[in-house]
Structure 1
Amino acid sequence: MKRWFYFVVLLMALVPVYAFYHIDGVVKDISAYSITVVDNYAFIGGGLQLRVIDISDPCNPQLLDIAPNLYQGAGVVKDTLAYLSNYTYINVVNIADPFQPVLVAQIDSLSYISKFAVSAPFLYICSEDLTMQIIDISDVSNPLPAGTCPIMSYVSSITIANGLLFVSGRDNNINITKIIDVSDPYNPMIRYTYNSSSMVTGITVDGNIAYIAERYDGMLIWDISNPSQPVQFGTFNPGRAVFDISIQGDIACLANELNGILLVDISNPYNPLIIGTCDTPDFANHVVYRGNKVYVGCYEGFYIVDVSDPLPPVNMIGSYYMQGDEYSSLAIGNNYAYLVNSIWGLKILDVANPSLPELLTEYSDLGASRVQVVNNKAFILNAFGSYDIIDISDPNNPQTLGSYTGLSYPINASVVGNYAYILDGDEGLKILNISNAASPSLMGSYTDLVYPYAIAIRGNYVSIIDRAVAFPKAYVLNVSNHASPQDVGFCYLPDEPNSISYYGTYTYIVSGEAGLQVYQSDSYSPLTLLSSFLPHPTSDLVYCFVDGARLYVSDYNWNEIDVFDLTDPSQPNLIRTFKSNYATIDMKISNNLLYTANEYAGMHIFDLNANVGIEEPLPIAPMLSVSSYPNPFNPQTTIAYTLPMKGHVELNIYNVRGQLVRHLVDENNLEGTHTVVWNGKDDQNRDIASGMYVYKISCGTKQMSGRMMLLK
């Protein structure tokens, strides 16, 4: 995900006029530092392993789990051969059938390999001994040395085209690119050396034109018809770091770090122009542009973008962006927007004219992470351990009223009435009396939490997401006595729960694993799971909130905001999707305008009156879901599961060591919800010990699991 580092210069128009494109497919949790597309497969280099992804269905790419022992090493793929470097060796693997790779040869360079390139019948290896060596691999089983050439101590990229080898890197803190003539592989000659202000991270050659990605200076376009005297045509600096360039016809696709990908018209190399963009959730560092698809490699994922058809207008009526700012939270009130940034603190904007937000003032608060506005006061949670209360009755002149500094690892906070409920990663829930803003005081606390992450408050009850590793939970606390919160109970959650919100007696929790989950919370008892919905197989839902009878959910992986109608709160109906091209981590509604905080992309404003998205309410088909109640239990619990379609179901109980305890279900079931009671006994009808147990359900290719606690 997009993180805190890299502050660079960029000034963009308030509302861009170029096209937005949408992510089609996602593979999460892999590092993609290089990509080679061959037919229906993408070969991904990352770390010390080459990964293979089936891209025959671009909307549902599949990471293949095949022959990891032969795919070890940083990889270059040429035709049906993969060249994989591993320390001093390059293994040559035949991947004509990716499911049955065959080791063809092993080439020893005698020195640690930093980068290499292949152009049959020669292999070009950059080693840590400051030498580029050329090896004849006409017969890969009998590699023969050819020529050598001195290079720099650190190599960042290597490209070969038309008998020229482009090697970039750094020597003695000087950024260097060398053009080496390898038309005679036995006698390579340096034709040109270029010193750049920032590191060159990639070079792409198309005919006699070289497109050079300079990390902080954008794209340079050179005429290399005379490689001894390259001539610069033009430059394109979009801001942020440019890591890679892929060319197709008159279009260059740039991996533009925080901005995702940019499509640039290069038909006039003297004046390249941006024509489209797609913001990826993570730093874009590698791109391959083929046909109407762009394959994007990021630090934590692989994305497929369809650039054949721009997204329809989303009725974005205004935005605010400032170079280097990452907005993590926002609040709206009285025609003002309040944005927090961990570097600058609080920014106050006049949004009376939402098409042209105007910065009024900045309030310095280093470490600001969350903001809430109530009754002319801004409550700011600070990552450095304070909870700051600011008088904003005069938005042009905010004044400090008071602070509470007794926090260790503040994560989240919410204000209701005269009380602030603060989640501290080290100390649990803290309840502050803020009736005297000049001197907020600690009223009570609840410390039996491992990693409290999100909070929702309804009357005298507080629900808290605890992201304890391996065993995340949702706690319900009675806080009618603020000095002594009482535990009502808890339920286990899927991994990576992110946000929680109430509507009547229903609770909505979104997570990176299970999507949107709907819980019943009658009588303020522990939550009972009713159903789960996942907009896309690779969705990562990070934030949700309820406004009126609408539930708004942010999908970080897909740059979407889904709007659900809650006429039947147990079955939310999708009525609109904003495909905004920006990953949203916070959002608020005021005067039927939707304001979004989009990290480095700034703040954006959407008109909810606009007739966009889905016209009629469409129920989302439920995904496979399973839950147990009561949980914890003694002596028995009911396990409920919902099937999206009829099929064969297996439901088993395991202990925490993964050992099978009980077969509960092994039969064909119809679509819908089913229940089965487990009496706390194993398959031999023996009582089992107290402790944690895992229930796991499978139906067809779909699986889901949960945790439950037996207490005796």
Structure 2
Amino acid sequence: MKTKNLIVLLMILIVSLPSYAVYHKISELNFSNFGSWMELDDDIAIIGTEEWSLFFVDISNPENPNTIQELMNFNYINNLAIKDQIAYVCDDNGLKLIDYSDINNITLTPYFTSEEVNFVNINQNQAVFAYESGFTILDVSNASIPTEIVNFPTTYSIIRANIIGNNLFLLVEDGFKIYEISQPNNPELIGEYVSDFFELSSFAISENNVYLGDWGGIFKVDISDPANPIYVSENSNFLFPMNISVNNDILTYCDYYYSYVTFDIQDFNTPILLSSYATPREAKHYAIQDDILYLLDWSYGLQVVELDDSSNPFEIYRYWKEFEYVDGLAFDENYMYFAEMHGGLTIYDRNNPVDPIYQTGDEMCTGLVKDGNIIYLTYRTGLYLNVGYKIYDVSDPTSPVLLNSWVKENYNTVKLGDYLIFKTGVYMIQIWDVSDPASPEYVDYLNHSSHIVNFRISNNLLFANINDPYNNINGIEIYDISDLTNIVSIGFVDIDYDIFDLNVFGNFIYAGYYNLSWYGSASGYFIIDISDPSNPEIVNEFYVHSLDNDRGVGFGSICCNLSGNDLVVADNRNNRILTYDATDITNPVLQNEFRWNFQTSSIKFDGGKLVLNNWANGITELDWNNFLSVENVIVLSDKFDLSNHPNPFNPSTTIKFSIQNECEVELTIYNIRGQKIKQLVSNQLSAGHQYISWNGDNESGKPVSSGIYYYQLNVNGKTVATNKCLLLK
């Protein structure tokens, strides 16, 4: 593998409402080892793992998948392909044929045992499998008894191989090679593309282009003339793509860390995010059948996911940045301020959030606090990533002024009056006087014998989250900081579990925990009464999720915030945003659930807006008032029965929906960029079934191009349902 410095480039997309599809999980099935590849054959999912097993799973009921058989005669399954109920499985020991025509009597036959097989691909009656020293083409007209056509030695290692028509495409370390196989017993090299890549993992061929998935992005190469492949473009925003596919300008892939994503790449350099779904750990492979998405997660097994075509009436903007870690944010009426892991201090105009109005770009930021027009920014710098502070005056957000900076090990930070309080190192909290931001002065410190994970401040009290696994100390230490020169410990509450989310709401602490054990894991909150801080008392506990046979908890697991009597909790393990009625703060009552596609690391309220930090994918702003009306999100799409027929269509289709009462109705067509194409209905309609025709034209009556379009139904001024259709010409 080549070694190269990976320069992480970033992308920001403003995702228009009609173009973004929402998924929600309907079931999952965990395995005893790590998933690597998956193929579907009607009601059977065949799943290979990195250890020794091949699983056969019944998916006839997607809401309740179950394992039928497990074969354990393998050594790191690399991939598999299927034909006529024969699975061709390649692993480190070679190629094996698995006959599952009788699911209760599955048989295994070794076929090739000379060396490790990297990849196998089947196209109609031909198959190719690749290994370190070459490739073999098979006639698989009879899949159970393949016939070797040619064994072709090579001087290069093959990563993947695909047969398309009379051409064989081989993905190799430095590009790809094209062989003409109209005479399959005599492959002829007719073209190749060689370049300098970081690490190629997969490729896709669509029309006259090859798309190369590299850890540093996706490369597009024109193969109109296979003998002379020509570089077209590369997009470094697609980071760590695995198992990419391209069909009708729709790019789909799993990224190395969390997500399954789809993009419209009609303009390859300016892609449009169509959908995404974050798996608990690492999305390895995927397949789609009957509008159900089957995702194979490396640690969590099979994730069965359904596309929710209902509208998203509360989303305002999504500041989408793949693999941009926002570790701190603040906002005022006109601007949003991000502490970006790769972009430094980044400022957006909230009225036009397409491009930042300011970005330092040279800092690995780890936190941000805004006090009036002063921003306190923590960052990492130097060979050893030492942590430091920068203080900016943002009176003019388009041109911040650096007032001061210094290097310390700074992490969690709180601004209290004229004082800056921050955690430094593992055991210490320091206090600095910043009444003059340009000239901070050291005041005092607080030292603890155990690890201080983070802390919160409220009403002259400091609550330190303590974690010391060696001495079996977990809990919250409470300090009186009314005199910052004489900080005194006044109370401690012992908690058995690791606390990773700490919130203070009035006289109560919400301490988010996870408990991981051999029988499963659980996450939730302890509610702690601190009305007497010298004698804190756990008064209640509620679970956010509790799952048997769970292999662990995803990043952050849960986080929460409170607005009035409304508690919002992000459950990252199950991709949900939950709302609770916290009128009785000691006993919150679950009200609604919204399916969410991102790992949320923090929740903030800004008047009528809810701001979610999507951790590795930027920021999302939601309309808080509409968010509370979840019936507008989950229920109404079924109630109005919005659909169209035929689909795909050419030249016209009929859109059907139902309304229960006479009401004001709007039906509008959008393209995948969220641009309005045509308003089909805008008037009062009577109750009953409605049938509206669309002739594939715009407001001017001109025909529109082929592609995906969305039709959105509004009733009495509210968006109630959205669906999609495909125009093919």
The two structures have a TM-score, normalised by structure 2, of: 0.67
1:204-353 equivalence runs, <5 A: 212-215=211-214, 216-217=217-218, 239-241=237-239, 242-246=241-245, 252=250, 254-255=252-253, 257=255, 260-263=259-262, 276-280=274-278, 286-297=285-296, 304=303, 306=305, 308-320=307-319, 325-351=324-350, 353=351
AA in 2 matched with 1:73 = I
1:371-520 equivalence runs, <5 A: 371-383=368-380, 384-403=386-405, 405-407=407-409, 410-424=410-424, 426-435=426-435, 437=437, 438-441=439-442, 443-450=444-451, 452-466=452-466, 473-480=474-481, 482=484, 483-486=486-489, 488-494=491-497, 497-511=499-513, 513-520=521-528
Given the alignment, which residue of 32, 35, 38 partners 1:35?
38
Note if contact 2:38-2:287 (Cα within 8 Å) is conserved in structure 1. yes
CA distance in 2, matches of 1:528, 1:98: 53
Change in Cα spacing, 1:72 to 1:320, as seen in structure 2 (3 Å) is closer
| 1:310-352 alpha-carbon deviations (Å, 9 max, x no partner) | 242242223445788542321123543211112332123343x
How big is the shift at 1:594?
Answer: 1.9
AA in 2 matched with 1:500 = L
**Quick one: higher RCO (CA 8 Å, sep 6+), 1 or 2?**
2
AA in 1 matched with 2:527 = Y
Change in Cα spacing, 1:178 to 1:473, as seen in structure 2 (3 Å) is farther
CA distance in 2, matches of 1:417, 1:265: 49
How big is the shift at 1:157?
Answer: 1.7
CA distance in 2, matches of 1:454, 1:337: 24
CA distance in 2, matches of 1:510, 1:329: 19
Q: Does the alignment pair 1:149 with 2:147?
A: no
CA distance in 2, matches of 1:64, 1:461: 57
Change in Cα spacing, 1:305 to 1:158, as seen in structure 2 (3 Å) is same
- 1:658 is aligned to none
1:5-20 equivalence runs, <5 A: 7-8=8-9, 10=11, 12-13=13-14, 15=16, 17-20=18-21
- 2:364 is aligned to 367
Q: Does the alignment pair 1:545 with 2:549?
A: no
1:685-696 equivalence runs, <5 A: none
How big is the shift at 1:371?
Answer: 0.9
Q: Does the alignment pair 1:105 with 2:110?
A: yes
1:10-159 equivalence runs, <5 A: 10=11, 12-13=13-14, 15=16, 17-24=18-25, 25=27, 32-45=35-48, 47-50=50-53, 52=55, 55=59, 58=62, 68=72, 70=74, 72-78=76-82, 82-92=87-97, 103-105=108-110, 107-109=112-114, 111-117=115-121, 124-129=128-133, 131-134=134-137, 147-151=150-154, 153-159=156-162
| 1:294-316 alpha-carbon deviations (Å, 9 max, x no partner) | 23345665674656542422422
CA distance in 2, matches of 1:60, 1:457: 46
Note if contact 1:48-1:74 (Cα within 8 Å) is conserved in structure 2. no
Q: May I ask how many residue pairs the two structures share in their alignment?
A: 596
Note if contact 1:550-1:563 (Cα within 8 Å) is conserved in structure 2. yes
CA distance in 2, matches of 1:273, 1:403: 38
CA distance in 2, matches of 1:486, 1:269: 60
Note if contact 2:264-2:274 (Cα within 8 Å) is conserved in structure 1. no
AA in 2 matched with 1:276 = L
How big is the shift at 1:385?
Answer: 1.7
1:609 is paired with a residue whose SS is helix
Given the alignment, which residue of 613, 619, 626 partners 1:597?
613
CA distance in 1, matches of 2:106, 2:464: 49
Change in Cα spacing, 1:99 to 1:105, as seen in structure 2 (3 Å) is same
Query: Which piece of structure 1 moves more, 357-366 or 384-393?
Result: 357-366
Note if contact 1:73-1:85 (Cα within 8 Å) is conserved in structure 2. yes
AA in 1 matched with 2:565 = A
AA in 1 matched with 2:253 = A
Change in Cα spacing, 1:299 to 1:74, as seen in structure 2 (3 Å) is same
Change in Cα spacing, 1:218 to 1:536, as seen in structure 2 (3 Å) is farther
Note if contact 1:596-1:603 (Cα within 8 Å) is conserved in structure 2. yes
| 1:517-562 alpha-carbon deviations (Å, 9 max, x no partner) | 2323343345536222226858853422233333222233555433
How big is the shift at 1:217?
Answer: 3.8
CA distance in 2, matches of 1:228, 1:348: 46
Note if contact 2:297-2:303 (Cα within 8 Å) is conserved in structure 1. no
Q: Does the alignment pair 1:530 with 2:527?
A: no
AA in 2 matched with 1:462 = L
How big is the shift at 1:399?
Answer: 3.2
| 1:150-203 alpha-carbon deviations (Å, 9 max, x no partner) | 446343322245565422112xxx31233352764x444445434467676445
AA in 1 matched with 2:427 = E
Note if contact 1:577-1:613 (Cα within 8 Å) is conserved in structure 2. no
RMSD: 4.8
Q: What stretches of structure 2 of length at least 5 have no aligned partner? A: 381-385, 515-520, 635-729
Change in Cα spacing, 1:373 to 1:125, as seen in structure 2 (3 Å) is same
CA distance in 1, matches of 2:102, 2:528: 50
CA distance in 1, matches of 2:449, 2:54: 42
CA distance in 2, matches of 1:416, 1:357: 33
CA distance in 1, matches of 2:365, 2:456: 21
Change in Cα spacing, 1:222 to 1:569, as seen in structure 2 (3 Å) is farther
Note if contact 1:256-1:262 (Cα within 8 Å) is conserved in structure 2. yes
1:243 is paired with a residue whose SS is strand
CA distance in 1, matches of 2:125, 2:462: 68
The two structures have a TM-score, normalised by structure 1, of: 0.69
Q: What stretches of structure 1 of length at least 5 have no aligned partner? A: 619-712
